[in-house]
Amino acid sequence: MQIPYRPLALAALAIGFFVLVLGRAQAGGGNYYTPVADAVVKAECGSCHLAFSPAMLPASSWKRMMGELQNHFGEDASVDAATAATIEAYLTANAADTGGRTHSRKLLRGVSLASAPQRISELPKWVDEHRKVAAWEWTSKEVRSKSNCVACHRDAERGFYED
């Protein structure tokens, strides 16, 4: 009996493709965060800035942030109560401390979850990862601020934060 090589080659190619694609989702250790999948969160949060992955902060942070929308980093980001409830439910259900997110645990290492940190850019792991970025680069016209992840991380909207 002769084994057909063409189907085996195609199967090997398909397996290789899936290993590459699925491997990328876990690549880079702590540099992949599940992107926002909820349409309301994408629309409301993403209308002003990148809709940050809920896996980048603990649930306590998202609850605090949603409770302070009238002063959201100097802006009034208030929404109606039903929309706020939808957004908060999604963010807290998918927060860094809801389990099963190795990358989130790395980002939050050394952070007291009870402190409800508000700025991802002030987390020790984030600061360490960005320590080599010159101060002037943060204010350049292309970047403008530390919250503009997509300026340097082209695939940030898809959850990839590799350089």
The per-residue pLDDT string of the chain (163 residues; one tens digit each, 9 = 90 and over) reads 565 566 665 555 556 544 444 444 444 445 889 999 999 999 999 999 999 999 999 999 999 999 999 999 999 999 999 999 999 999 999 999 886 566 788 888 888 878 899 999 999 999 999 999 999 999 999 999 999 999 999 999 998 987 6
The Cα–Cα gap between 130 and 137 comes to 11
Q: Is the pTM of this model over 0.85?
A: no
Q: What is the dihedral of CA 45, 57, 115, 146, to 10 degrees?
A: -70
Q: Phi and psi for 59 in degrees, rounded to 5?
A: -55, -40
